[in-house]
């Protein structure tokens, strides 16, 4: 999975996408989601490294069935809040 961390003062945004989705565009009806390298392409990481990053994040932006399932099973994302575009899961979490 590609992982990119953005630090903005006290806020930490963690953007993660499944490796095979980078650079793709998802389309379903009027919905279009571009999975841009500029936003998501960071370090390649495995599942085991993600939970620590998820716990430090104040904002999560996750695209891909593998990463979203990992976040749901770890209790970081509510399964009822997951969107699906063209069969690909997407979740955003903002800590307020």
Summarize pLDDT for 36-68 with one digit per residue, the tens. 999 999 999 988 888 888 989 999 999 999 999
* Domain encompassing residue 12: 2-94
Supply the pTM of this predicted model. Answer: 0.93
Q: Give the pLDDT confidence of 83-95 residue by residue, as tens digits.
A: 999 999 999 999 8
Please give the order of strands across the beta sheet that includes 59-63. 43-44, 2-8, 11-17, 59-63, 88-94, 83-85
Overall domain count for the chain: 1
Contact residues for 67 (Cβ-Cβ < 8 A; gap 6+): 1, 16, 17, 18, 50
Strands 83-85 and 88-94: antiparallel
Separation between Cα atoms, residue 53 and residue 49, nearest integer Å:
7
CATH code, domain carrying 11: 3.30.1860.10
- Tokens 């069969």 belong to residue: 87
């Amino acid at each position: 999975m590609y992982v990119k961390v953005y630090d903005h003062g006290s806020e930490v945004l963690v953007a993660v996408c499944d490796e095979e989705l980078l650079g793709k565009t998802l389309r379903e009806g009027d919905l279009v989601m571009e999975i841009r390298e500029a936003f998501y392409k960071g370090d390649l990481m495995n599942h085991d490294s993600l939970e620590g990053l998820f716990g430090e994040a104040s904002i999560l932006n996750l695209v891909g069935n593998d990463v979203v399932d990992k976040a749901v099973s770890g209790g970081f994302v509510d399964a009822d809040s997951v969107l699906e575009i063209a069969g690909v899961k997407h979740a955003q979490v903002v800590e307020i």
